[in-house]
Amino acid sequence: PDILAPQTVLFGWSHGGWSVLEFLSIVAGDDPEPNVAPPNIDISNLRAAFLYYPYCGISSLPDSANFPMHTKTVIFHGKKDVITDPRQCQALADTLRAGGGDVEFISLQKSGHWFDNHAVRSVYDADATQRPRTLVNQTLQSIRTN
């Protein structure tokens, strides 16, 4: 009861980003798995979704007709990611945007998967981490003031 519905956002990293895509697609009307009822959730107030290097391949492609057009969705992806394919996420973002979705794809040119994990120095990219942080903070601030 203490959730401020008009300020609700979702975040997902890697498989969590894929899960957010699936969630948005199912609750917005896409067909769920056979014999699985879609959740009875009103997402009309869901303001934004921030997805970090999600999987965007086969079986994760929401139909633009069923994607919530009012939800600002931002996908952050390292161009050098070898775990999830940034080209698939770029194509997905383009398709959803062409269908009227408020979807943005942010390509981080020198980064790979897990670029924001400061605990693993071999993958951490401070510059790439700052760009999403800035955009997320700006978006959250605009949601807070609207």
The model's pLDDT over 65-108, given as tens digits with 9 standing for 90+, comes to 678 888 899 999 999 999 999 999 999 999 889 988 899 999 99
pTM: 0.85
pLDDT exceeds cutoff 90 at 37? no
Q: Which residues contact 34 (CB under 8 A, 6 or more apart)?
A: none
Radius of gyration for the alpha carbons in the chain, expressed in angstroms and rounded: 15
**Segment 11-36 mean pLDDT:** 77
Output the 3-class SS for 88-113.
HHHHHHHHHHHCCCCEEEEEECCCCC
- Residue 69 is predicted with a pLDDT of 83
Cα separation, 29 vs 79, in Å, equals 31
**Residue 13 C-beta-side C-alpha neighbours within 13 Å:** 7
